Amino acid sequence: MAPLAESLAAAATIVARVAAGRSLSAEIERAGTEPNEARAALVDLCYGTLRRYGRSQALVKALSSRAQITDPQVAALLWCALYALEGGRYAEYTVVDQAARACVIMSQHRAKGFVNAVLRNYLRSRASLEARLGADPVARHWHPAWWIERLRAAFPAEWEAVLEAGNVHPPMTLRVNARRGSAPDYLATLAAQGTPARALGAHALMLEKPLPVARLPGFADGAVSVQDAGAQRAAPLLELAAGQRVLDACAAPGGKTAHILELADVELTALDIDAARCADVERNLARLGLAAQVRVADCAALEAWWDGKPFDRILADVPCSASGIARRHPDAKWLRRAADLERFADRQARILDALWRTLAPGGKLLYVTCSVFTEENGAVIDAFLARTSGARRAPRAGSGQILPGPEHDGFFFALLEKPA
């Protein structure tokens, strides 16, 4: 295992880039570390730091003056070290010592004394700091102020629970391939290898503790996939039947695509605008022994891909703020801006208007986001129904807004019907 100093230095470099506007997942991939304990430590430091970014920022501001931090990497190192101190995985003296050593690794020799002093000051004054941070909503809830205010307005009874859910490590949930076996049988297989899990639905099993997919029985052979329990609601809501012509309009990375094919023998077209992500869809389908027509295309640009033959079912899992899965992508909380919601809503409206033209009379379109913001969800659907003659929202148990919680992420589902 790499020394903590090396992990802190690497994590600080990545977190500083994310704070400057880069994607966390892209930066982790760029680091290129092979799966091992060192990579696990790096990922934990990056994700843990960004989950509590609002708190760590407030702590550093309280413990130092702006003039003392002139380098973004030094600030990021302090955020990472504070997470390491509060996470309880390392001894306090180890974190302080290794953070100072990380300064040398990062060629920030002059910052050693400053980093050491800030962290020791934190350890001495934790009680008084907590009282000061409690009055700061961003520091207390680890989310941007605009995000907090929108949730408070939309969900006056649940907003604090939603914020709390966005700050914790997400559950690891499996989807059993219905073409290969049953959830009860796979649950028994997990129990036999000493992996505790429990059923959440017809095909969903939640592990008590996450583990590498290589340790999942039959994963390589397509027996099971990793997919959030909330995301697994989409395919059943489509009311699939054999022989239907189905479109997955924003398919990557292919989890919902595969679930559709596991549930029914349909003729499926899967689109995504990104060629690399389409390759991910094809790899996922191949592992599961499934087949679909996968095409690189902008689903709203019909002239580029649609042959004029209508679809019986359409899944529109549209691009969105990802606010319902912020615990899986904690950089989203800090990279998003309130103005982004309007831009997402405009794009979502264009996609809906285009896909509606491809839906057969009597067909159904399922609109899905992984967002908890009304601007991307109910408001988009209400506006679509107001401007689209004949379109109606089909009553369906399980649709609507589901908020993130211990068993699933946050999603919005609206099933729309076209008159026959």
Find the CATH number of the domain harbouring 30: 1.10.940.10
As a whole number, mean pLDDT of residues 326-350 equals 96
Confidence of residue 210 (pLDDT cuts 50, 70, 90): very high
- DSSP element (H, E) containing 205: strand 204-207
Q: Which of 189, 207, 226 is the last residue of a domain?
A: 226
Distance (Å, rounded) from C-alpha 47 to C-alpha 42? Answer: 9
Residues 179 and 253 in one domain: no
For residue 335, what is the domain's CATH number? 3.40.50.150
Structural Rg of the chain based on CA atoms: 23
pLDDT per position as a tens digit, 196-208: 999 998 999 999 9
Distance (Å, rounded) from C-alpha 17 to C-alpha 75? Answer: 12
Residues 202 and 343 in one domain: no
Residues 244 and 315 in one domain: yes
Question: Is 352 among the domain residues?
Answer: yes
pLDDT per position as a tens digit, 62-105: 998 765 677 899 999 999 999 999 988 899 999 999 999 999 99
Question: Is 155 among the domain residues?
Answer: no
Residues 388 and 346 in one domain: yes
Residues 186 and 263 in one domain: no
For 51-86, give one letter per residue: b (16+ CB within 10 A) or e.
bbbbbbbbbbebbbeeeebeeebbbbbbbbbbbbbb
| Domain count within the chain | 3
Contact 52, 44 (CB under 8 A): no
As a whole number, mean pLDDT of residues 378-399 equals 94
Q: Nearest-CA neighbor of 234 among 260, 254, 204, 212?
A: 260
Residues 219 and 250 in one domain: no
- DSSP element (H, E) containing 352: helix 338-358
Q: Nearest-CA neighbor of 331 among 53, 85, 7, 41?
A: 53
| Of 6-10, 15-19, 39-43, 278-282, the least confident | 39-43
Torsion angle of C-alpha atoms 44, 47, 49, 55, degrees rounded to 10 = -130
As a whole number, mean pLDDT of residues 311-315 equals 98
What are φ and ψ of residue 415, in 5° steps? -95, 120
Contact 170, 408 (CB under 8 A): no
Confidence of residue 260 (pLDDT cuts 50, 70, 90): very high
Pairing type for strands 311-317 and 245-248 reads parallel
Residues 218 and 107 in one domain: no
Contact 206, 407 (CB under 8 A): yes
Residues 237 and 220 in one domain: no
Residues 59 and 19 in one domain: yes
Question: Is 163 among the domain residues?
Answer: no
The residue that leads in pLDDT, 1 or 138, is 138
Confidence of residue 153 (pLDDT cuts 50, 70, 90): very high
As a whole number, mean pLDDT of residues 265-292 equals 97
Question: Is 166 among the domain residues?
Answer: no
Residues contacting 405, CB < 8 A, separation 6+: 161, 165
As a whole number, mean pLDDT of residues 342-353 equals 98
Residues 132 and 60 in one domain: yes
pLDDT score for 36: 75
Find tokens 């409206």 and name the residue: 349
Q: Which residues are catalytic?
A: 370
Domain assignment of residue 307, given as a range: 231-417
Residues 248 and 393 in one domain: yes
For 141-165, give one letter per residue: b (16+ CB within 10 A) or e.
bbbbeebbebbbebbeebbeebbeb
For residue 203, what is the domain's CATH number? 3.30.70.1170
Contact 281, 294 (CB under 8 A): yes
Question: Is 185 among the domain residues?
Answer: yes
Pairing type for strands 311-317 and 359-369 reads parallel
pLDDT score for 399: 87
Question: Is 406 among the domain residues?
Answer: yes
Distance (Å, rounded) from C-alpha 117 to C-alpha 63? Answer: 9
Question: Is 164 among the domain residues?
Answer: no
As a whole number, mean pLDDT of residues 266-277 equals 97
**CA 336, 337, 338, 343 torsion: positive or negative?**
negative
For residue 376, pLDDT over 80 is answered with yes
Question: Is 255 among the domain residues?
Answer: yes
Residues 299 and 210 in one domain: no
pLDDT score for 1: 45
Distance (Å, rounded) from C-alpha 238 to C-alpha 267? Answer: 14
Q: Nearest-CA neighbor of 232 among 272, 187, 262, 198?
A: 262
